[in-house]
Amino acid sequence: MITCSSASQAKAKNLLQTKSLPLAAVSVLLAASFAPAQAANFISETEYFSYSLPTDVQKRCNDKNNCPNIEIQHLKSNQSWIDTLVNKRVNNLVINHGISDKPASTATSNQATKTALDAFSRAQFKEAPRDYKWSYELSVTPSYVGHVNDVELIKIDSYEFTGGAHGIPYRENLMFDQKLKRQIKLNDILITGKKPKFEAQAYDAYKKWVATFDKDLKNYEKNWPFSLSDNIMLTDKGVDLLYQPYAIAPYASGMPTLTIPYQQLNGIIKPQYVVK
């Protein structure tokens, strides 16, 4: 596994000058190791999305010294087809942030991303109380995790804060099959007709996870019932299922990860996605 992750200093300097200050996103790092290198070497870095706060926002926040903190980064690697897919998803996450009350947009362009950021920065001065002393924050950052067999693994972390007790972190795992030259998801790694068996294994992992802190499974399930996550990642041990805050546990639990070992997935997932 070869990886190089660093932000562009020139872009960062420009970002600071435009008052779009870098934000240290709240995240929980994946604790996983990976198989010996079998895929093509993947070399990557991230670069800041070129964005300046609207003039009217800069004027208002400079007066109060509370400009919105915005950090959007794109992936830049030696695999352009992966960059294209990852960066479209980064843009789409920016465009769709905080729109739970309306249908999600499929837009992925840089212009649509800029428009969404303008709306986000202006919302701070429309929605926040007059005497507020905090700033809106938004970050979306992709990073290379590693690879398993011929599958390159990328994660996208985001964080949004618009007031209240805490912000909302989010993580999405992406997998790219170098042989097929396309992104793969849960259904792509499963043998046809085996999804019910995979879900049963995931539920067993959920029960074991709950038992580590609560012996009353039935009572726990009343508040935080099991659901099957398609936010998965291959590791050297098995398949990880990642859950967002509040999905199967309270916010304080962070982003729970359930792991299904490969030995329990024989005949369920396709052989090329199993680490031996």
For the stretch 31-67, pLDDT in tens is 333 433 345 589 999 999 999 999 999 988 877 788 9
For residues 132 and 65, what is the distance between their CA atoms, to the nearest angstrom? 12
The proportion of the chain whose per-residue pLDDT surpasses 90, expressed as a percent, equals 73
Does residue 234 contact residue 153 with C-beta atoms inside 8 Å?
A: yes
H or E element in which residue 219 lies = helix 217-223
Q: Would you call 68 helix, strand, or coil by DSSP?
A: coil
Q: What are phi and psi of 233, to 5 degrees?
A: -150, 135
> Measuring CA to CA, which residue among 76, 62, 58, 51 is closest to residue 138?
51
pTM for the predicted model, two decimal places:
0.84
For the stretch 76-108, pLDDT in tens is 999 999 999 999 999 999 999 876 667 889 999
Instruction: Enumerate the domain spans of the chain.
Output: 9-184, 187-273
> Measuring CA to CA, which residue among 71, 86, 75 is closest to residue 20?
71
For residue 45, give the amino acid letter: E
For the stretch 167-207, pLDDT in tens is 999 999 999 999 999 999 999 999 999 999 999 999 999 99
Whether pLDDT at 165 is above 50: yes
- The CATH architecture of the domain made up of 187-273 is Alpha-Beta Complex (3.90)
State the pLDDT at residue 40. Answer: 55
Q: Which residues of 236-247 are buried (b: 16+ CB within 10 A; e: fewer)?
A: eebbbbbbbbee
Superfamily per CATH, domain 9-184: Fervidobacterium nodosum Rt17-B1 like (3.30.565.40)
Does residue 74 contact residue 139 with C-beta atoms inside 8 Å?
A: no
Instruction: Report CA torsion sign: 213, 217, 222, 224.
Output: positive
